[in-house]
A and B are shown apart, each in its own frame.
Chain A
Amino acid sequence: MLDVRHLRVEFPTRRGTLRALDDISFSIAPGEVLGVVGESGAGKSITGLSIIGLLEPPGRIAAGEVRLEDERIDNLPPEQLRKLRGRRIGVIFQDPLTSLNPLYTIGRQLEETILTHLPMSKAQARERALGLLREVGIPGADARFSHYPHQFSGGMRQRVVIALALAAEPRLLIADEPTTALDVSIQAQIIALLKRLAAERGAAVMLITHDMGVIAETAHRVAVMYAGRIVELGAVREVIHAPRHPYTAGLMGSIPRIAARKGRLVQIDGAMPRLNAIPPGCAFNPRCPRRFDRCLVERPDLLRAGTSLAACWLHAAA
C-alpha cells in the first residue's frame, strides 16, 4: 500500500544543512498497522509530514521516494497532493482542536469533507456522516450532528477527527500521537477504535507515537527511530520481547510497568543528539553500553537480526 524508499529530508539553515531524516525505508500493507516510535526529535512526525507533503518549508525531501498504491506521490504538485489528503490519505493529529474548525458544526464539517471527495448528493452525504459518527462511538449522533467542536469533550473530539479522517474511505491513515492528549481511560477506547476500523476497512495505518504501550496494543510491526533514522524494524512482539538494537533495549527497560513494589528503572545515560551535533559513526554510540571501535567511525545500515532489522554492528555477519 505505502512504500517509502530511502527518504531523506533536509532543512537548509544559515549554518549548513540539517539532515532531519536519513535513508528511511519501510512499507505498510493493507490492513496493517505500522507503529513508528521514538523520543522527541527522533524524526517520527517529520516522517509522517513528508509522506503527506506537509513539510514546513524550508524543509524538503532531498532524496528517495514515497509510493502509494504503486504511484509516486512525493513529487506531485501541491494541488494534487491536497486532493490526495482526505481522499486517499486520512490524517489524525494529536490535538483534535487543530483539525476541527471551531466555527462550523461537526455535521457540516463531515458533510463538506464527504462532498469534496466523493460523488454524493447532500442527503447521501448527511446519511454517511451520521453513519460515521455512530461508527466511531458518539452517543446520540443525530443530536450531536449540529453541535460545535467546543461542545465536545477531548475524547469525543478525537472521535470526530477520526470520523473526518475516514470520511472518504482513505487507503492510508496516518495517526500522529492520536491518544497523547487524552486520559488513560479514553486512550484505551480510542486505541480499540483505531484497531477495529483498520481491520474492518483494510486500510494501512501508520501510527506515530512515543508510547510503546500504545504500539504494543495496536501495531503489527514497529519502526524504532533515533536521530533521524530507523534503528530497528520488526514484528511488535519481537521488538518488545527481543530488542536487537541497544537503544531499543534501553528504551524498553526505561518504560515503567505496573510493578508490585518500588524499583529502579534501567536508564540510558545522556540524551539524543541534536541534529546539528550528530556524532560520526553510529549516532547512538556515545550512549551505547556495547559500542566498539567500528561504531565510532562507520555508520551501520539496517542489518538482519533474527526476524527483525537492526542498524547495529553487533549484527554484522562475521
Chain B
Amino acid sequence: MPLLRLERVSRDFDVSRPWLNRLLEHEPRRFLRAVDGVTFEVEAGETLALVGESGCGKSTVARLIVGLYAPSEGRVEFRGRRLQMIFQDPYASLNPRWRVRDIVGEPIRVLGTSARVADMLVQVGLSPDDGDKYPHEFSGGQRQRISIARALGGEPDFLVCDEPTSALDVSVQAQILNLMSDLQSRLGLTYLFISHNLAVVSQVADRVGVMYLGRMVELAPAATLFSRPRHPYTRMLLDAVPDLGMSGKPRTPVRGEVANPLAPPSGCTFHPRCPHANDRCRGEVPAFIDGVACHAVAEGRI
C-alpha cells in the first residue's frame, strides 16, 4: 500500500490585481494554476524525485503534501505516521536567535516524541556539544544537517525534501546526499525529493516524475527515465545537462523558454518548444497514459 497518494491534485493562486484596479479597468479576477491534475503515489521506503525547471509546480506539490497549502481540487492522502519537511535554504529555515538545541528540540517538545536532541545531532554527524551554539556559527552544510536533525526529531517516516542541496557547494552536497541515503537505509525513511538537478536526482531516486508548467509529463523508474526518456521535454532536459565526460556527443540545441504560467499555451503546454508538435498537440491536452503525457508518444510518432 502506498504511503502517500495524490489524486488529480490542482492548486490555483489568486493573482488578481487589487479590487479597485479591477473595478476601474473592468478586469476579471485572474488565477494562476500552479499545479494541474497531478496524480502519483509514493511507496514506503522508496525515493520519488520530482524534477522540472522554475515554475513547474514542484515546490507547490511539496507544500500541498505537507499541508502548507490546501489543494484547490483533488485529494492528498497520507497513510504514514508523520511527515517532516527539509527546506532549500539552510540560512532562512533556522531561527537565528535560537540555540541549535532549541531548534532541534522544538518538534520533540511540540509533538511529544521520545527522541533526544543529542542523539539527533550525532545521527546527522554533529557533536552533542553543538547544541549550545547558534546557527550562524555553522557552515551551510552543517546548517542543513541541523535542519535534518530537526526533521528527524519528529520521528517521521516520510520526509519531503525541497531542493535540500541546491544552496550548497558540490563537495558539501555530496556529504548531505550520502547522509540522507544512510539515514534512509538506517531508519527506513521514505523520501519525496524535489530538485532541478537531474544528475543529483539520478543519484538518489528510485522513481522520477518530470513536471512542466504544473503538469506531470513523465513518471518512470529512474533507470528507465535516464536511459530511455520518452517525453520530448525529458529528452530536452537530459540533453541540456552539461557533459562532464567531454565526450563531444552531438546534442539537440535547446529551444525557447518556459511559457508564462499566467497564459499557458493551449493543448500540450510544451508544444511551442517541441520538435514533434502537430495540430493535435496544439489543440488537445494529452492524457497521462502509461507513465507519459504526450500525443507523439501515444501515437507512436516518436
Q: Which residues of A contact B (CB under 8 A)?
A: 39-40, 153, 155-156, 183-189, 191-192, 210-214, 216-217, 236-237, 240-241, 250-251, 253-269, 271
Contact = CB atoms under 8 A, between A and B. Distances in A.
Interface in B37-67: 47, 53-54
B175 interface: yes
Given A39-B171, A183-B196, A262-B181, A213 B241 contact: yes
B54 to A, nearest CB: 6
Contact of A262 (B171, B199, B205, B238): B205
A39 B175 CA distance: 14
9 contacts: A184-B197, A254-B173, A259-B203, A259-B226, A260-B226, A260-B227, A264-B181, A271-B142, A271-B172
B243 interface: yes
Contact of A257 (B178, B199, B205): B199
Given A262-B203, A263-B203, A266-B174, A184 B244 contact: no
Given A187-B240, A260-B227, 20 more contacts: A184-B196, A184-B198, A213-B243, A216-B242, A216-B243, A240-B246, A254-B173, A255-B199, A255-B244, A258-B202, A259-B199, A259-B202, A260-B226, A262-B47, A262-B204, A264-B178, A264-B181, A265-B203, A267-B175, A268-B171
A185 B53 contact: yes
A303 B153 CA distance: 49
Interface string B236-276: 11111111111000000110011000000000000000000
A267 B205 contact: no
B290 interface: no
Nearest to A212: B244
Interface residue tally of chain B, by bracket? 35 or more
A264 B184 CA distance: 13
A37 B140 CA distance: 19
Contacts of B4: none
B188 to A, nearest CB: 16
B170 interface: yes
Contacts of B277: none
A254 B244 CA distance: 12
Contacts of B236: 185
A256 B244 CA distance: 10
A213 B244 contact: yes
